[in-house]
Amino acid sequence: MSPVKNATGRPLVKLSGIRKSFGPVEVLKGVDMAVEEGQVVAMIGRSGSGKSTLLRSINGLERIDGGVIEVDGECVDPGQIDLRALRQKVGMVFQQFNLFPHLTAGENVMLALKVVKKQDKAATRAAAEAALAKVGLGQKFDAYPSQLSGGQQQRVAIARSLAMAPKVLLCDEITSALDPELVAEVLGVVRKLAEEGMTLILVTHEMRFAREVCDRLVFMHGGRIIEQGPPAELFDRPATPELAQFIGMVEAR
Amino acid sequence: MLEFTLWDILSNLLLAARWTVLLSLIAFVSGGVAGLLLLLARVSPLPPLRVAAKLFIEVFQGTPLLMQLFIVFFALPLIGIETSAWTAAAVGLTLFTAAYLAEIWRGCVEAVPKGQWEASASLAMTFAEQMRHVILPQALRIAVPPTVGFSVQVVKGTAVTSIIGFVEVTKAGTMITNATFQPFLVYGLVGLIYFALCYPLSLSAKALERKLNVAR
């Protein structure tokens, strides 16, 4: 079954007027963004443009100073302390994997199912096996993170997020810490998720991947979104000199 | 004149050493429990708890143990709480131990990479769940050697309680010296008893450190 994209027309993730400062430096200057269910959105821009901060604010890892975050009906503003409901709807995968080193791959996936979702033993086990199988690591259930390659660790991290059945998955430069030959296996998993209709928001430097897989590119510059649209359009006809320069820079690499 | 044999002296010191060992154990166990609570407060997301724990730790680290014992021993009766030398020694050493262990363990908690907090937070775990399932199991590994190492300080700290009249091995040594007029012999034996208690602890701390480093 192929997913019907943008079926509802109602945004799953809605950011309005997001502001964030680190000390005197304002890194997000009132960002508005909406992502519909099933959409795959890549955020691009130079380092320091605020894209990672914006992504991390969507599940409350960065506390925002102003604006409202809305994910599937859960509203979060700067005064909100309890982020549990929001975080159950938003999965996150990190550049450094951040697997729990004292637990096996299976235990990594099962932990939150057990303590957060309070599922029973059989259900967590089944869900973890399914999630690991989905990322192609069904046989690595009992392996510790230190016994896995970087690519495998990152796939376990993806499985760990997916097992919580999030509405949207955030990926923060998830291939940047990998050796070049391991990038493809991780991107392959992301591509499969996109095809299955998972809502994804990625911060990435993999421009070819962004172009092929994403429905929309969001170009950030100086704490604002200054251009967004279908990848082909942005790449071929950048409207702003900043984006044109950025594209020139990454393509020259 | 009454004569004291070496065995008379040693056997009385060893009998008193029981109280040194017992007081050390009480201080270490109850101080460990209190230290864990203090640690949780010290790293908790709630600022008032953090500040209170920090204040407690600073006060106990910034004042001499002897003064802390005096305060417990002399001040508690002033507010109507009867204290024996036993209770005062146990309470004083427990608070002292708790403050130091909390600070040692805080270092271990902070040695766990920030990504571990972020990953577990992203999985919607609460602070308590993060500590219990992700942070403490990793901090524990690095905490064992310094914790065992600190137990040596607790054993030696019990000597100070002799000043408030608690009869442990040092106080017993003083009393025996007053009877035998052989301070060098008596305090030499007292020193050996402390060494016999502490050296195995130091050795095991070193061994644990080596073992955990290899396992890494």
Give the domain CATH number at B61: 1.10.3720.10
List of chain B residues whose C-beta atoms are within 8 Å of the C-beta of residue A96? 115
Confirm whether A143 is domain-assigned: no
What is the average per-residue pLDDT within A143-157?
96
Higher-pLDDT residue of A208, B134: B134
Lowest mean pLDDT: which of A16-25, B68-77, B123-132? B68-77
Over 70: is that where the pLDDT of A195 sits? yes
- For residue B102, CA distances in Å to B34, B53, B152, B206 come to 8, 9, 16, 21
Confirm whether B1 is domain-assigned: no
Output the pLDDT for position A81. 75
Confirm whether A147 is domain-assigned: no
List of chain B residues whose C-beta atoms are within 8 Å of the C-beta of residue A99? 119
pLDDT band at B214 (very low <50, low <70, confident <90, very high): low
Output the pLDDT for position A73. 85
pLDDT band at B213 (very low <50, low <70, confident <90, very high): low
CA distance B110 to B97: 20
Output the pLDDT for position A6. 45
Output the pLDDT for position A221. 94
What is the average per-residue pLDDT within B26-47?
96
CA distance B164 to B14: 20
Confirm whether B98 is domain-assigned: yes
Lowest mean pLDDT: which of A4-18, A212-226, B74-88? A4-18
Over 80: is that where the pLDDT of B215 sits? no
Nearest to A98 among B118, B129, B133 (CB): B118
CA distance B99 to B87: 18
Structure tokens at B139: 């901090």
- Give residue ranges of A with CB < 8 Å to any B CB: 59-61, 83-84, 87-88, 90-92, 94, 96, 98-102, 111-112, 115-116, 157, 160-161, 164
Nearest to A115 among B116, B125, B141 (CB): B125
Strand A40-44: give its sheet, edge to edge: A90-93, A168-172, A199-203, A40-44, A216-221, A224-229
Over 90: is that where the pLDDT of A168 sits? yes
Q: How many domains does chain B have?
A: 1
Single-letter amino acid, residue B49: L
A61·B129 Cβ contact <8 A: no
A96·B115 Cβ contact <8 A: yes
Single-letter amino acid, residue B116: Q
Over 60: is that where the pLDDT of A122 sits? yes
Listed in sequence order, the residues at least 6 apart from A140 whose beta carbon sits closer than 8 Å to its beta carbon are: A105, A132, A148, A152, A156
CB contact at 8 A, A86 and A60: yes
pLDDT band at A248 (very low <50, low <70, confident <90, very high): confident
CA distance A42 to A217: 5
Confirm whether A175 is domain-assigned: yes
Supply the mean pLDDT for chain B. 92
Of the candidates B188, B164, B173, which has an alpha carbon nearest to the alpha carbon of residue B83?
B164
B133·A87 Cβ contact <8 A: no
Structure tokens at B204: 């095991």
B116·A88 Cβ contact <8 A: no
CA distance B182 to B193: 17
What is the average per-residue pLDDT within A222-232?
93
Nearest to B125 among A59, A112, A161 (CB): A112
Output the pLDDT for position B2. 66
Over 50: is that where the pLDDT of A172 sits? yes
Of the candidates A122, A193, A188, A119, which has an alpha carbon nearest to the alpha carbon of residue A151?
A188
pLDDT band at A10 (very low <50, low <70, confident <90, very high): confident
Helix, strand, or coil here: A66? Answer: strand
List of chain A residues whose C-beta atoms are within 8 Å of the C-beta of residue B124? 83-84, 87-88, 112, 116, 164
- For residue A142, CA distances in Å to A108, A123, A130, B123, B168 come to 10, 17, 14, 21, 52
A98·B124 Cβ contact <8 A: no
Q: Which residue has the tokens 């923060």?
A: A172
B111 touches chain A (CB under 8 A): no
Output the pLDDT for position A8. 54
The share of chain A scoring above pLDDT 70, in percent, equals 96
Nearest to A84 among B115, B119, B126 (CB): B126
Q: To the nearest whole angstrom, how far is the Cα of A72 from the nearest Cα of chain B? A: 16
Output the pLDDT for position B205. 87
Over 70: is that where the pLDDT of A141 sits? yes
Output the pLDDT for position B141. 85
B116·A59 Cβ contact <8 A: no
Output the pLDDT for position A5. 47
B191 touches chain A (CB under 8 A): no
Q: How many domains does chain A have?
A: 1
The residue range of the domain holding B55 is 6-215
Give Cα A104 distance to the centre of its chain: 23
List of chain A residues whose C-beta atoms are within 8 Å of the C-beta of residue B122? 59, 61, 87, 90-92, 161
DSSP for B84-137 reads -HHHHHHHHHHHHHHHHHHHHHHHHHHTS-HHHHHHHHHTT--HHHHIIIIIHH
What is the average per-residue pLDDT within B6-26?
94
The number of C-beta contacts closer than 8 angstroms across A and B is 58
Confirm whether B164 is domain-assigned: yes
pLDDT band at A9 (very low <50, low <70, confident <90, very high): low
DSSP for B141-179 reads HHHHHHHHHHHHHHHHHGGGGGGGT--SHHHHHHHHHHH
B123·A112 Cβ contact <8 A: yes
Q: The domain spanning residue A182 has which CATH number?
A: 3.40.50.300
The residue range of the domain holding A193 is 11-97+169-252
Output the pLDDT for position B216. 44
Among chain A residues, the shortest Cα distance to B134 is held by A100
